[in-house]
Amino acid sequence: MLEVYQLHKEINGREILKDIQFTIKDGGSLAIVGESGSGKSTLAQLIMALKQPTSGQVLFNGRCLPNKRIKSYKEWYRDIQIVFQNSASTLNPSMSLFQCLEEPLINFTSLKKQERKERVLEYSSKVGLHEDLLRNRPGRLSGGQYQRACLAKALIIHPKLLICDEIVSNLDMLLQHQIIELLKSIQKEEGLSLLFITHDLSLVPGLCTDILVLKEGEKVEQFRASSLRDEGERDSYTMNLVKSTEMLEAAWKQYVL
């Protein structure tokens, strides 16, 4: 279980996050939603121990954020993996795709060579990548293939929690929904806990059970995804996000048709 308590982050005297608090239970799913600059990505970096909070706590299954010991970081990353919005540097361009997917198995597991090969083939198939692509270097993949490969690399060591930070924002709407459907399938199959960070509320229903809305680093509200469009219950900021998403969807459909 992920537990975030009174998380606060300042950078150069500026408040980026203010008193953020939430939990994600085993197998649970939470969407963090807000405009650019609302602190979503900073929150992901804090949970991944890529930055340290100014105050507050992050716990995973009772363990605190890792300290300076390499072993504690390795244990943290064994259980929590992230796929970033800008994933261009996730896959080593000098390696084959097979080597890129095998790398976390070498670093985080004790699997033998044949077992690693079988796991790579399993997860490349699971995310919809043909075996022939494994010989290629990442630079030869399309945008959609690259993002699928990043998902496979994050999932291949069987983490307990996956953080997705705007992972489909650079893809067209058709590819976005393909990746979302893939996430739904994998989460259901593996009982994965999910923290899904996005500015696009249309991606959340059916993927996450709960939504937390951020604005300028502060929590606006948290609610069940099923009540997203209950206008009488939602904050006006949340409803503005809903309406802006609906306008973008309508414009895209008109353009495609």
251: in domain: yes
Q: Is 134 inside any structural domain?
A: no
Residue 257's pLDDT is 46
Give me the residues paired with residue 198 across strands: 33
Q: List pLDDT tens digits, range 17-26.
A: 999 999 999 9
CATH classification of the domain holding 243: 3.40.50.300
Residue 71 in this model has a pLDDT that exceeds 90:
no
What's the mean pLDDT when you consider all of the chain? 90
Q: How far apart are CA 62 and CA 78, in angstroms?
A: 15
- Helices 113-126, 143-155: inter-axial angle, 10-degree rounding: 130
Structural domain range at position 31: 2-93+158-256
Split into its structural domains, the chain has a count of 1
Q: When comparing pLDDT for 176 and 108, which is higher?
A: 108
Q: What pLDDT score was predicted for residue 252?
A: 47
For 73-89, the pLDDT digits (tens) are 889 999 999 998 766 77
139-154 average pLDDT score = 93
Contact predicate 173/204, CB 8 Å = no
Share above pLDDT 90 across residues of the chain, in percent, rounded to a whole number = 72
